[in-house]
Structure 1
Amino acid sequence: MPSQRKTERITDLSRLKAFTNPLRMRLYRLLYATGTATASQLAEQVGEAPSLVSYHLRKLAEHGFVTETSGQSTDGRERWWRVATEEGWGFRDSDFADTPEGTAAVGAVTRGLVDTRVAQYRAYLDQTAAWGTAWTDAAFSSEWMLELSPDELAELGEELDALARRWRERGKAAKAAGDMVDREHVSVHLYGFPFRS
């Protein structure tokens, strides 16, 4: 049965501000994708010093986004990290709109997320030949122009969230059953926002 857990909603400004640092955002995304890693492993992937990565992992841990995990260290000195919750986190602009500092933090985090997602998609576009036709034919990009009310847009977002969760659970079940043949991490980016022409 699919998980009914909800994404954690961040309402504390100091927690949200933890993600105004682009390196922390990258580290969190890498841990979310890989499951567990050491600071040294993550440092190799982001091209930074392990000591700097350790510092930022500790800051993410202070805010409850990542946690140490046990049982993987072979010598007792390595610290292994994982995200604190598989469900991830989110926030609403309106929870921070009452102060200039809150508005600035929302803007910084949102732009950082968009920049990270665009960079990830551009990297895929640069590497399409390496993926082969099965993956490139399956990959998609689309834009829909709809006429909706705020309530309808919210409902659409909830439906898309439920659909993505169903597919995530399917992948997790396959992994648990040992079915990892031809499976890769897949990133799906969806945005729904109003605009005027």
Structure 2
Amino acid sequence: MTSQENRRITDLGTLKALSHPLRMRLYRALFVARTATASQLADQVDEAVSLVSYHLRKLAEHDLIEEARGHSADGRERWWQPSSYGVSIRDEDVRGTPELVAASDALGRTLNDQRSELHRRFLDERLTWSGEWRSASISSEWLPRLTAAELAALGEELDALLKKYDTQARAAEQAGDTEGRENVAVHLYGFPYRP
């Protein structure tokens, strides 16, 4: 059963597994689909089913995904689902060794590259979306002066707010209310910088 909490990643093996670009794409695609087979995911990422199956097994070895229960399988393919609501990596968990720092940095770069690609794709295809969706899209930057504690609190509040909307959307979908719903990517960064 999928946990409704983020999985806190603290070990080197899991960081390395998730920092692989294809595995991260598969994890994201599975999170959006909620459940899928290797064949379905292979179509989404344009890779061979055998390669996708291999990488799904690697994600499962690190408990990032799990076999989905309750799906009728034809005996040839397994259904997969994320094993948690998402993942989180905290600095205090990865600063212990140079290897943990390097793996965390590699995952951060993979995520940044893929998030940037998602936004670029939206910009390239924005005219294919309705005016309502184009107007609803967000591209903002704020430059507040905060303490580290205030930044941490802001992150927690934003996380709670996004989880509220996601929970409402999932409940509506389960009730059959899918009209007008699209997958939405929300990327927000908060970090100190020196101009």
TM class by shorter chain equals: over 0.9
Structure-1 separation of matches of 2:143 and 2:5: 28
Contact conserved, 1:43 with 1:50, CA < 8 A, in 2?
yes
Quote the residue 2:13 is aligned against: 14
Aligned residues: 193
Extract structure 1 runs of 4+ deviating beyond 6 A.
Answer: none
Shift of 1:68: 1.4
Report what 2:184 is aligned to: 186
| Aligned residues of 1:174 and 1:180 also touching (Cα < 8 A) | yes
1:74 and 1:13 map into 2 onto residues whose CA distance is 33
1:112 corresponds to which of 110, 113, 131:
110
Contact 2:73/2:79 (8 A) holds in 1: no
Question: Where in structure 2 are the equivalents of 1:6-155 lying within 5 Å?
Answer: 6-85=5-84, 87-155=85-153
Structure 1 residue 72: Cα displacement: 3.2
Give the distance between the partners of 1:114 and 1:195, measured in 2 at CA.
17
Could you say which residue in structure 1 is the equivalent of 2:155?
Answer: 157
Supply the distance in 2 between the matched residues of 1:37 and 1:143 (Cα, whole angstroms). 35
CA contact 2:18–2:107 (8 Å) conserved in 1: yes
1:5 Cα offset (Å): 4.7
TM-score (normalizing by structure 1):
0.93
Percent of aligned pairs sharing the same letter: 54
Q: Please, what TM-score do these two structures have when normalized by structure 2? A: 0.94
Q: What secondary structure does 2:95 align onto?
A: coil
Shift of 1:20: 1.9
Matched residue, 1:174: 172
User: Bigger CA drift: 34-43 or 71-80?
Assistant: 71-80
Q: Aligned-pair RMSD on alpha carbons? A: 1.5
Deviations 1:7-33 (A, max 9, x none): 221112211111121100000000000
- Gaps of at least 5 residues in structure 2 are none
Query: What is the CA-CA distance between 1:174 and the residue it aligns to?
Result: 1.1
CA gap 1:172/1:162 in 2 versus in 1, 3 angstroms = same
